[in-house]
Structure 1
Amino acid sequence: MIRVSGASLVVVALLFGSYHGLLGIVSLPEYSNQQFAWLAIATYCLALLLVLFDKPGIRMRLISAIGVLIVVVIVSQLIYGSLSEIREGSYATWHIAALSTLLAVVAIRQHPTIAWIGFILLTLQLFAWGGPQVIFNSGLIGGLILVAVAQAAYQAIISSAKRAVEFQIRSIDIDSAVTAASAARAEKLKRLQDTLSTALPLLEKIRDQSGELSDPDKREAILMEAQLRDGIRARALLNQDVIQATRNARLRGVEVQLLDDGGLDDLSEEDRQTYLDEICVRLNEVNAGKVVIRASMGDGWRLTMAAIQKDADKPDLFIRL
């Protein structure tokens, strides 16, 4: 891809615009009032510098674009006020191409509507001075083409900018998806490692004893299976205190079920600890039956705890936090 720096484009535009000013100087003998002509040339040159060096970036200031409209009117009136006719091969209407160049720059620099308003003003003033018959020998057609090409360039810039933004958004989405997938894989690996480190001693014991376990070992295996299930279903609800409180409750014969639906995911560690402490306190109060602890999202509360005994009419414990 060929890349052209912004400075190079400015230099090219400055040289091209200066050429029109030079044509104005060459055409000075054709004007009845050369002071008006000199003033028109100077005004145009200042406007050229304004549109090219208005401010960094592609979009020029609105006030500068409106200033070009004023220049279109002033320069045209100065020229027509000192020119009676267009001679064959003359550059006396140099200002048509010059002002069209200014308007083209205005269009490229993100103000195409103002550029076309300026071209309409330029055309109306030309027709008011010389009538429709001067349309082909005044440079107006070339000016029209110049502004139209600038309009197309403006649309290409806008389209390119939109595609760049869309590409950036897609790139961010892809990066986010990759990061999320990596985090999910890391989390799964961590859970697997934690599970193995927790269950491995018991599994080795089962292997060594060929599955012949004592009653205490069988109870330990049941507790271990429940703890592993908690780690899968309710990892966010677990810390060492909750694990121990849950184990103690199960040793007392309480059936404990932990479920995590993301209710505590957006909390800070300190706030989350408050809920976990409450779980421990409430679990230690239950001596029989079944306890269901659930962290839910979107229900108006974050944590639900319910304890009920078999054949009971109402729960022994029901709280929402």
Structure 2
Amino acid sequence: MGASGIVISVRNVLVGLGLAFTAYLAARGLLGITTVPYPGIVLGALGLYLVTTWMCILWEPPRRDDRLEDSASGLPRRAKLPVWASALALTAAVIVPTAIAIAVGSEARTSLYATWVIGGIGALMTIVMVRRRPWVAWIGTIVMGAECMFWMGALAALALGLVGSIVWVGVAQLLIRSMDRAARDTTHLATLQRAASAWQASQSVRRRERRVQVQRALAVAGPVLIATVASGGSLSAGERVEARIAEGRLRDELRGPRLLDDDVRAELDAARRRGATVTVLDEGGLDGLDEASLAIIRTQLAETLRSANSDRLYIRTSPHDRVAVTVVGRSASAEGLSDEDAVDLWREIIHPGAADGEYSTL
């Protein structure tokens, strides 16, 4: 049987037990129906009690509140008994004890068919407590207790079941609070579990990214390191250029991997081979972009690098909502000029969809 079937069966069992128990208590009131002075009042009180109690047991919240159902009991966890039903239950707690006491007469108020009212109203208030109306349940219990003590006597009422009814209501409140606390703890644990799962997933992604970067770094630097070791550190001019380019590649892979694809890497290598100094920094701003958007940004970056002639290139991502990447170029021939004059390239690659233009050019 599935989990939903178990919940439904448990709920049905609880409802069935509640109906049977309250019917048993009411049936005790019929034992002396032929001997009481006012049988009509007894029948009316029994009818009010049964209608009120069974309504409180069988009441269901609207379908939109099904999400509030408690997985342990199958009952709505936060749905309260309607105000009108709570008022009806409180009315029964006020009317039924006095009506039974008057109907059976003063000599039979401690008989079996009169004292059922103590357990009956106690059971009703327990149901009201379970239905999330604690104040109504306690007020009804106190009113019923006061009336029974008045008609039967304090000691007689306590001995004939009043203590048990008070205990029922108190235990029901403790159980409800325990269930609520367990539900809150379960929700909190589920939240922590989701957070832990998300953290583990992010760590797995980061580990994969680090493995990829290490493998790429070995592929880039491996041949240069092997040649350096084989030559004892004595490198030719061409090998020194390759070592410098390999170092630049490693820096690019570590500092800005999201900006790189084969075309960008090729243009960065070309810029370094002609003697340019290139700095690539990913300082945020590309988080959450899909591969299609990153591909557009990389294509524009490769086009920008292809047309650049600067001696020093600075490529940085931007946290700006509109600008994705900024490319700044400076030329050695402008060393003696001001900072503004030294900049011979300034291009801003716009986030895809942020504007009609692809980038701005200085």
Instruction: Bin the TM-score by the shorter chain.
Output: 0.7 to 0.9
1:50 aligns with 2:55: yes
Corresponding position of 2:39: 34
Change in Cα spacing, 1:18 to 1:309, as seen in structure 2 (3 Å) is: same
SS in 2 for 1:304: strand
Q: 1: distance between equivalents of 2:172 and 2:32?
A: 27
Amino acid in the other structure paired with 1:251: R
Alignment of 1:9-158 (within 5 A): 9-29=14-34, 31-55=36-60, 56-59=74-77, 61-63=80-82, 64-76=85-97, 78-85=99-106, 87=108, 89-91=110-112, 92-123=114-145, 126=147, 131=150, 134-138=153-157, 139-158=161-180
Note the C-alpha offset of 1:230.
0.5
Q: 1:144 to 1:88 in 2, by over 3 A?
A: same
8 Å CA contact 2:15–2:57 kept in 1: the answer is: yes
Q: TM-score, normalised by structure 1?
A: 0.84
After superposition, the C-alpha distances for 1:208-252 in whole angstroms (9 at most, x for unaligned) are: 545443322221121111011100011111111211121122222
Match of 1:240 in 2: 262
**Are the aligned partners of 2:109 and 2:115 in contact in 1 as well (CA < 8 Å)?**
no
Q: Percent identity?
A: 26
Distance in 1, Cα, partners of 2:169 & 2:107: 23
Where does structure 2 lack aligned partners over 5 or more consecutive residues? 1-8, 61-73, 351-362
Q: How far is 1:318 from its partner?
A: 3.1
Amino acid at match of 2:106: E
2:196 counterpart residue number: 174
Q: How many matched pairs?
A: 316
Matched residue SS, 2:308: coil
User: What does 1:195-274 correspond to in 2, within 5 Å?
Assistant: 195-274=217-296
Amino acid of the structure 2 residue aligned with 1:317: L
Asked if structure 2 preserves the Cα contact closer than 8 Å seen for 1:252 and 1:288, the reply is no
1:12 to 1:216, Cα distance in 2 relative to 1, 3 A: same
Distance 1:123 1:250, change over 3 A: same
Q: Per-residue CA shift, 1:134-171, capped at 9, x if unaligned?
A: 34333444322221221111111111111211222222
From the superposition, tell whether residues 246 and 123 of structure 1 become closer, same or farther in structure 2 (CA, over 3 Å).
same
What stretches of structure 1 of length at least 5 have no aligned partner? Answer: none
1:318 paired to 2:350:
no
Cα 1:297–1:67 shift into 2, 3 Å: farther
Q: Secondary structure, in 3 states, of the residue corresponding to 1:62?
A: coil
Q: What is aligned with 2:69?
A: none
CA contact (8 A) 2:11 2:75 kept: no
Instruction: Assess, with a 3 A threshold, how the Cα gap between structure 1 residues 192 and 30 changes in structure 2: closer, same or farther.
Output: farther
Contact 2:281 2:315 in 1 (8 A): yes
TM-score, length-scaled by structure 2: 0.75
Provide the secondary structure at the position in 1 that maps to 2:155.
coil
Would the aligned equivalents of 2:101 and 2:151 in 1 still touch at CA under 8 Å?
no
